[in-house]
Amino acid sequence: MTEFNPMQHIKHQFYAMRNGAIADNMRRQGAPYRIIFGVNLPQLTEIARNTAKSAEMAEALWNNTSTRESMLLAPMIYPQEQYDIATARRWSNGITTPEVADILCMKLLRHMDFASQLADELILSENDMVRYAALRLMFNLLPNRITEVKAYAESEMQRGCSLTASVCRPLLDEISFLEEEN
């Protein structure tokens, strides 16, 4: 029987769960990856559940920017107690797509004690994707700091960036809803 190293084992699982229709559709829509297995979020979550938490493996997956599923799985297996703000800054500046930003914020960044500080730093970036990640992280941190988050989202809307507007609109709607409750 063939023995696989941990990375090969993960890639084998990606291959076993591949969905050609999703992968082909993502390629047609311009996904920037050389390799797309078409694995969906519940399947990635299952792979993460069956994979040992490891900063080393998470880093290897994150640095495998040619494979969509690698970048999505990385935040799910990084041990939260080892993840620091320097790593978060580096990863945030390496985000390739909104999907990666969403998963990074939802599965890892929002759980960090420094999440608000990081969001405040990232929103000042000149890079649209980094600001998208900042707003997405702020969304995950609601209802904390509604006044500041609202100001950031309104300011970002004035930039006229379609990427960040896609998260600003629902963020402002959610803030409006939360304000009505109070």
Give 36's pLDDT tier (boundaries 50, 70, 90). Answer: very high
Residue bearing tokens 């041990």: 79
Q: Going by C-beta distance under 8 Å and a sequence separation of 6 or more, which residues neighbour residue 85?
A: 112, 114, 117, 118
Mean pLDDT of 102-129: 98
Residue-level pLDDT at 3:
73
Quote the CA–CA distance of 169 and 157 in Å, as a whole number.
Answer: 8
Residue 101: the pLDDT is 98
Using pLDDT thresholds of 50, 70 and 90, give the confidence band for residue 2.
low
> What is this structure's pTM?
0.93
Q: Work out the average pLDDT over 1-10.
A: 82
- Is residue 1 scored above 70 in pLDDT? no
> How far apart (Å, rounded) are the C-alpha atoms in residues 62 and 15?
18
The residue among 72, 84, 21, 65 whose CA lies nearest residue 43 is 72
pLDDT at 87 over 80: yes
